[in-house]
Amino acid sequence: MKINESVDNGDVYILGDVGNYSSCYSMHGREHFMSPDEHYEDIKRSIAACSGHASKINIIMPLLYESRQHKRRGNESLDCAMSLQELERLGVNRIITFDVHDPSICNAIPKLPFENFYPTHLILNHFMENNVDKEVLVVSPDMGAMERARYYAEMLQTDVGVFYKRRDLSKIVNGKKPIVEHLYMGVDPKGKNILVVDDMIASGGSMIEVAKELKERGAKNIYIAATFALFTEGTTAFIDAYQKGYFTKVYSTNLSYIPEELSKEDWFLEVDCSLYLAEIINTVNQKGNIDALWNVRPLVKE
């Protein structure tokens, strides 16, 4: 990789979307889509091209590389921590990310500034501006997202519920122990509008199951909000669930790649975070106070 402009004594900001599955290249007569590993390698190449010239190197990975592999169970790798330590060794001065799966991963690099921002207020603003259903019950799809659900509920001044995923621990299907049942705990969802919140939609199967369960319990409109909509197994299941009336709308940001055709779907609303990211970069570059940018109270219209 070669940078064609001078970066001497400048502060460099390298923006990499490891979840961009639209990037592709040709090899051996076949088209290959770039994997997160390849995007991460490109980030390292960019760092190497700047090293020794730039005053500071700032890495912006809205979707943090390998963030779901954040803790070790048995004989497995600790990918996220290893990548962060590698970036530190390469001379990176700051890492900027969004809604990381486990914020405590920053303990892997205690001497390196690790800025983890949340687009919650932007998602809530879009939700309030595009829905007549202002009064909602916030629901967490699992115990791991409960803290997030509580935050949403506090911002909306409403109640919260949670699902517990009961799994079959004797089996492994597609690398996971299959979910046997979703057990709901909290305020009765019957007759209520629901906002289901999580950090990301991967395959989305669990989210659809939660929406279906809530519908069967008598919920009215069901909205889904997630910072990252990856749809690792495509959107067919979501289109089918929408047509069956399981949910009304999915809200997600453009902090990771969103196909143009997806942004045109009636059931999907893209939350634009470009200005928010630009403000973060400008504030950091001007050595301003970033505390006000961590997360702010949403503008709730009467």
What are the beta bridge partners of residue 250? 224, 268
Using pLDDT thresholds of 50, 70 and 90, give the confidence band for residue 174. low
Give the model's pLDDT for residue 139: 96
In a domain, 182, yes or no: yes
Question: Among residues 62, 114, 49, which one has the least CA distance to residue 88?
Answer: 114
| Residue 291 within a domain | no
pLDDT of residue 297: 52
Asked if the structure places residue 1 within a domain, the reply is: no
Stretch 7-27: mean pLDDT, rounded?
Answer: 92
Which is it for the CA torsion 262, 265, 271, 274, positive or negative?
A: positive
Q: Is the pLDDT of residue 172 over 80?
A: no
Residue 242 included in any domain: yes
Compare 7 and 72 and report the one with higher pLDDT.
Answer: 7
| % of the chain residues with pLDDT over 70 | 92
Q: Position of tokens 């760092």?
A: 47
User: Contact at 8 Å (CB) between 284 and 58?
Assistant: yes
* Structural domain contains residue 285: no
92, 57 contact by CB (below 8 A): yes
What own/partner pairs with CB < 8 Å and gap ≥ 24 does 7-11 have?
7/50, 7/53, 7/54, 8/53, 8/54, 9/53, 9/54, 9/55, 10/54, 10/55, 11/54, 11/55, 11/56, 11/58, 11/285
98 and 170 inside one domain: no
* Cα of 208 vs its chain's centroid, Å: 17
pLDDT at 176 over 70: no
Q: Which amino acid is at 105?
A: I
pLDDT at 254 over 70: yes
For the domain that residue 205 is a member of, what is the CATH number?
3.40.50.2020
pLDDT (0 to 100) of residue 289: 87
Q: How are beta strands 114-117 and 137-140 bridged, if at all?
A: unpaired
Based on the domain organization, do 96 and 124 belong to the same domain? no
pLDDT per residue as tens digits for the range 214-225: 999 999 999 999
Length of the chain equals 302
**CA-to-CA distance for 189 and 216, rounded, in angstroms?**
10
Cα 148 from Cα 133, distance rounded (Å): 20
Domain boundary among 72, 92, 117: 117
The rounded distance, in Å, linking the Cα atoms of 293 and 119 is: 10
| Same domain flag for 76 and 138 | no
Do β-strands 222-229 and 249-253 pair in parallel, antiparallel, or remain unpaired? parallel
Residue 187 pLDDT more than 50?
yes
Residue 293 lies in a domain: no
Q: Indicate if 107 and 170 belong to the same structural domain.
A: no
117-155 residue pLDDT tens: 999 999 999 998 887 666 899 999 988 889 999 999 998
Question: Which range in 81-85, 100-104, 171-175 is most confidently predicted, on average pLDDT?
Answer: 81-85
The predicted pLDDT at position 99 comes to 93
Residue with the larger pLDDT of the pair 71 and 102: 102
CA angle 84, 279, 82 (to 5 degrees): 5
Q: What percent of the chain has pLDDT over 90?
A: 66
Domain co-membership, 188 together with 249: yes
Least confident range from 26-40, 123-137, 251-265: namely 123-137
**Whether residue 107 is found in the same domain as residue 125:** no
Choose the final residue of a domain: 61, 92, 117.
Answer: 117
Residue span of the structural domain in which 99 resides? 11-117
φ/ψ region of 74 (left if φ > 0, alpha if ψ in -120 to 50, else beta) reads left
Average the pLDDT over 144-168 and give the result: 87
> What band does 298 get if pLDDT is binned at 50, 70 and 90?
very low
Residues 237 and 141 both lie in one domain: yes
Asked if residue 248 and residue 142 are part of one domain, the reply reads yes
Band of residue 170 on the pLDDT scale cut at 50, 70, 90: low
Q: Are both 140 and 74 inside the same structural domain?
A: no
d(CA 133, CA 149): 18
Over range 36-55, report the average pLDDT.
93
Strand partners, 124: none
Q: What is the structure's pLDDT at 119?
A: 93
Neighbours of 103 (CB within 10 A): 14
70 and 193, same domain (yes or no):
no
- pLDDT above 90 (res 301): no
In a shared domain, residues 228 and 265: yes
Tokens of 120: 């919650």
Q: Which of 83, 117, 151 is the last residue of a domain?
A: 117
Per-residue pLDDT of 259-290, as tens digits, reads 999 988 999 999 999 999 999 999 999 998 88
- Tally of structural domains, the chain: 2
Q: Are residues 98 and 222 in the same domain?
A: no
